[in-house]
Structure 1
Amino acid sequence: MTDSFEDRAALPMPAHDTAFVEGDSSPSVDATPADVSAFAALGLAEPLLRAVADLGFTQPTAVQQQAVPMAMGSTGAFNDLLVSSQTGSGKTAAFLLPVLHTLIRQQEADEAAERAERERLAADAVARGETAPKKPRRKDPTNPRHFKAAEPGALVLCPTRELAQQVAHDAIELVKHCRGLRIANVVGGMPYALQIAKLQNANLVVATPGRLLDLQRSMQLKLDKVRFLVVDEADRMLDLGFADDLAAINDLTAQRQQTMMFSATFAPRIQQLAMRVMREPKRVQIDSPQEKHQNIRQVLFWADNAQHKRALLDHWLRDASIEQAIVFASTQIECDGLANDLQQAGFSAVALHGALSQGLRNRRLMALRQGQVQILVATDVAARGIDVPAITHVFNFGLPMKAEDYTHRIGRTGRAGRDGLAVTFAEFRDRRRIQDIEHFTRQPFKAEVIPGMEPRERPPEPRKPAFGRGGPRSGAEPRGRGFGAPRGGQHERDRGGFGAWQGGDRGGFGSQARPSPAPGGRAQPAGRGDGARTAGARPAGGGKVFVPFDAKRRPHKASR
């Protein structure tokens, strides 16, 4: 279950968890019910406890232990919550359990009131000597003559289709013992008629903002009776440009009683969003950045170029300990190309990115969950919402654009307390992104090498590089790299970069030759105003000194 629970019963883990396969409602463990006394202490309804026991979970996670009682609140009073917790810590169940509990209690109260009303009418009819009225028959919601716009009591917003489908699947697993409680999933890329039929009599709707507003504007859905609003992955919502859609949904659900917002961090933009849509929210922060993913081993491999990265990936994917793995690419083109290369190399691999149709994306995710596919090559569309227990490795072939996306990527492994391995491949030009990731996670990478596949260039130093001319001023050892200076190894002696001092055998583009000493022991300048050049002023190796054509006419001013 996506971000749901921590500990299963002490049983051997199958190759893939049947609880993740849609349409399969069988328990994921044997017939012996799990001890759910810890969940019962949270005050959850009996149908939810039975579902948790069927799934084989025994202990709530830290975020569930804190958020569930606060979200349930007291009778008639609910608290707005702003929750920050790491990926894989059980955030999904932290908001599904209290929302479903409240819906169950509301449904029981409505049924009791309806039963009392029928008994009152029957007693009045008997007192008048008439026949007691019969219970009205339930109308078929799929019949167009009985169509009625859906009026859900709870709404969960997710940034991506895959995450919304996973959350809806988890909710269905939790309500399988609740009679009459319906869950609907509304995402783009799926037929409207099918989703409209599923919306009928839905109590909880899990949706992406775009399709939800489309159905609301076409009068297929009403949001004025939504009592509980949950915004999952709020930071990703803002990244994808859903700020205006969130504002519209906030206005349409103005009569709600509770708002819960879940995000990876309490960034200033998340706090500003919370101030607009929440009323005095209570904060729950479980993990600080340096405490994240302690059960995931993170390693870094430096590569000279893309071909070197490809060789390193091929070496890792042949590890027999890999059950299933996700390889993250930076672009859709890179994703398709890498998946095709892996298929040609004999790997069971498929690509997943936003340009594919929703039906194809669903089929490939289902194949991954059922173990028919070993390697999923994906863009950041799969960085959230995929929960497959058999994923043991995550490979960052292409680095994420934002440092916080790195934590969501590696969170696809090591789910619910299991161990995982995250491997990152980076070229030397990507060192700034690596530093950003280290700064965000507050965890330095452990760089490793594979014997026989070491990079030819020296990995960048952990210290901050000095700008300007970084070479030596005399015959002493080099002081450090400058902007564009040699990167290390034998290239330090052979080649220079833009603006570097040359003390070796060959000059580079824009290099400045070190003047040879004159017979008197004083160095002669490389050139004079009349254009004269001395023999000793020429660069070693016979190269020419690059002089801009407008060097004498260029005004003296600070460069941009």
Structure 2
Amino acid sequence: MSFESLNLDSAILRAIEESGYTTPTAIQSQAIPVVTAGHDLMASAQTGTGKTAAFMLPALNLLATPHELKSRGPRILVLVPTRELATQVNEAARKYGKFIRARTVSIVGGMPYPLQNKLLSQPLDILVATPGRLLDHMERGRIDLSRLQMLVLDEADRMLDMGFLPDVERICEQLSAERQTLLFSATLDGDIARIAKQILKNPKTIQVATQKEKHANIEQRLHYVDDMTHKNKLLEHLLIAPEVNQVIIFTSTKRHADVLAEDLYAAGHKTAALHGDMTQGARNRTLTKLRQGDVKVLV
């Protein structure tokens, strides 16, 4: 299957070709026809399967046809659990929508309100947001959702884990019942299935990977330690192993992350901390250094 066979607008196909992609992934080839046909969708897809394009390409295809209402508000709303994911979705929208001139805005926690107010006062097509900050702006009457045609819940399982479910439900109550809703999650059972039943209408279901497949290449170990000194020595032993390239260490508190990062840096490791007390700019710079290999140990 090729992207040309998915009945996407020529301007979108041009952007896909310019990005260097020739063949859709499994989630893309299955999801795009369902979405362009107007169905609601529940999709189970892991990170790295191309799921962002699976909903962004048909969303942009919707934008290729002008809306009858002349409003400043968005036609596509994408809810995400984190600022980093919002940035990723925003970049995908701009990359694939460059030739249809889709106007995209990202509204997340940590951004100054005056800047967000300015962005929301301008005409836009796609709004990418974290639930809490979006609900805040909605309650202040700063967003016009009269043109909204599509709602996307990206990584719905993470939003559930992070306690965003009440905010998501309140947002959905204020949206048009005529909207098309897409839900993407690593799993589709339990609470995710209950949420989907509430906010989706006769959805099609797609599963391209199971949890077992997700963890197939992960080895898990548990080490018991006697005390803090023993734990630190064991950590150092793991970090200097020749087969170790990059490491992520999780700590119980933000303060502990800073202290451990400083200690490991002093010991000669290329280390950086990452947590919610850092500015968005600092978080972005740290993640960029990690991707480029300048940071070997992320705490």
Which of 260, 276, 281 is the matching residue for 1:338? 260
Gap change, CA 1:301 and 1:243, over 3 Å in 2? closer
- What is the CA-CA distance between 1:284 and the residue it aligns to? 0.9
Gap change, CA 1:301 and 1:194, over 3 Å in 2? same
In the other structure, the counterpart of 1:62 is: 26
Gap change, CA 1:307 and 1:46, over 3 Å in 2? farther
CA distance in 1, matches of 2:130, 2:175: 15
Q: C-alpha offsets along residues 167-195 of structure 1, whole Å, 9 cap, x if unaligned?
A: 1122222222x243111110011112222
Structure 1 unaligned residues grouped into runs of 5+: 1-36, 114-147, 378-560
Structure 2 unaligned residues grouped into runs of 5+: none
- What is the CA-CA distance between 1:219 and the residue it aligns to? 2.5
For the 8 Å contact 1:227–1:255, the answer to whether it is kept is no
Matched residue count = 297
Q: TM-score, normalised by structure 2?
A: 0.89
Superposition misfits of 4+ residues, deviation over 6 angstroms: none
For the 8 Å contact 2:81–2:158, the answer to whether it is kept is yes
Gap change, CA 1:149 and 1:51, over 3 Å in 2? closer
CA distance in 2, matches of 1:325, 1:317: 8
- What is the CA-CA distance between 1:288 and the residue it aligns to? 2.0
> Are residues 1:302 and 2:223 paired?
yes
CA distance in 2, matches of 1:149, 1:257: 16
Identity rate, percent: 44
Which of 128, 132, 141 is the matching residue for 1:210? 132
In the other structure, the counterpart of 1:38 is: 2
Q: C-alpha offsets along residues 81-106 of structure 1, whole Å, 9 cap, x if unaligned?
A: 111122322221211111112112x2
CA distance in 1, matches of 2:298, 2:21: 27
In the other structure, the counterpart of 2:142 is: 220
Residues 139-288 of structure 1: pairs in structure 2 closer than 5 A: 150-176=72-98, 178-199=99-120, 200-288=122-210
Which of 280, 284, 288 is the matching residue for 1:362? 284
**SS of match in other structure, 1:196:** helix
For the 8 Å contact 1:228–1:256, the answer to whether it is kept is no
CA distance in 2, matches of 1:299, 1:249: 38
- What is the CA-CA distance between 1:289 and the residue it aligns to? 2.1
Q: TM-score, normalised by structure 1?
A: 0.49
CA distance in 2, matches of 1:270, 1:289: 15
Output the amino acid matched with 2:290: L
> Are residues 1:103 and 2:63 paired?
yes
- What is the CA-CA distance between 1:320 and the residue it aligns to? 5.4
Output the amino acid matched with 1:195: Q
Q: C-alpha offsets along residues 536-558 of structure 1, whole Å, 9 cap, x if unaligned?
A: xxxxxxxxxxxxxxxxxxxxxxx
> Are residues 1:327 and 2:244 paired?
no
CA RMSD of aligned residues (A): 2.5
CA distance in 2, matches of 1:316, 1:49: 47
CA distance in 2, matches of 1:174, 1:307: 51
Q: C-alpha offsets along residues 186-220 of structure 1, whole Å, 9 cap, x if unaligned?
A: 00111122223333111001000111122222232
RCO higher in structure (CA 8 A, sep ≥6):
2
Give the stretch that moved more between structures: 57-66 or 344-353.
Answer: 57-66
